[in-house]
A and B are shown apart, each in its own frame.
Chain A
Amino acid sequence: QLQLLESGPGLVEPSETLSLACSVSGGSISSNTYFWGWIRQPPGKGLEWIGSFYDSGTTFYNPSLKSRVTIHVDTSKNQFSLKLNSVTAADTAVYYCVRHLRYNYGYFDFWGQGTLVTVSS
């Protein structure tokens, strides 16, 4: 059974870089059937897609965050990571790593449990 597990600091200071990792088990991130990516959800609010990758490293991002976001892929560890720089309180959210199907941009069929990141000094 596929499992996605997010990890990283729960507290980040304003203007610093948020860094999270997603460890994948039960499936390969090198599969050409899927995209893999990140979604976030501010407390009590809705869902925002951040960005994704395919083919072991080709990325595409939400334009609203593109200038601050980078997704890195480590196929040897079956992991991928998210870096979001120059964070503010508006970046406080639960961050989910996800898998989505490669039909246009895909529906999300597997989600990690999510990790809360708070931006505060």
Chain B
Amino acid sequence: DIVMTQSPESLAVSLGERATINCKSSQTVLNTSNNRNYLGWYQQKPGQPPKLLIYWASTRESGVPDRFSGSGSGTDFTLTISSLQAEDVAVYYCQQYYSTPITFGQGTRLEIK
């Protein structure tokens, strides 16, 4: 299984400041035949299902604000929120879809400082 490890487990950031969440996979999720990283990011607010933010490690889902961006390749990835808004308080998960079983990181809780 590919183990996904997120850091930090929790994060407090001031409104308008940058938030950075890291995700490391135990094996590469880069398909060298198409140069795509099989990595997604999700946002989950209390009482709601997760919402897809980013796929292919850096492609924003339709309707997702451009303050959310994804980067990285191979085994190391980052989700960045460029200017934190109050509505961004949530738990964030990374997910690999390179191999089965599909696996998620343990989650990073983002709060307002």
Contact = CB atoms under 8 A, between A and B. Distances in A.
Given A48-B104, A103-B38, A111 B97 contact: no
Interface residues of B, number: 25
Interface in A24-57: 46-49
A6 B9 CA distance: 30
Given A46-B107, A49-B104, A100 B50 contact: no
B49 A49 contact: no
Task: Provide the main secondary structure of the chain B interface.
Answer: loop
A106 B101 contact: no
Contact of A104 (B61, B98, B101): B98
A120 interface: no
A105 B103 CA distance: 10
A14 interface: no
Interface in A51-67: 60, 62-64
Contacts of A46: 93, 104-107
B95 interface: yes
Given A46-B106, A49-B104, A104 B49 contact: no
28 contacts: A46-B104, A46-B105, A46-B106, A47-B50, A47-B93, A47-B104, A49-B101, A60-B100, A62-B101, A62-B102, A96-B49, A100-B97, A103-B97, A104-B97, A104-B98, A105-B98, A105-B99, A105-B100, A107-B95, A108-B40, A108-B42, A108-B50, A108-B52, A111-B49, A111-B51, A112-B49, A113-B49, A114-B49
Interface of B: 31, 36, 38, 40, 42, 48-52, 55, 61, 93, 95, 97-107
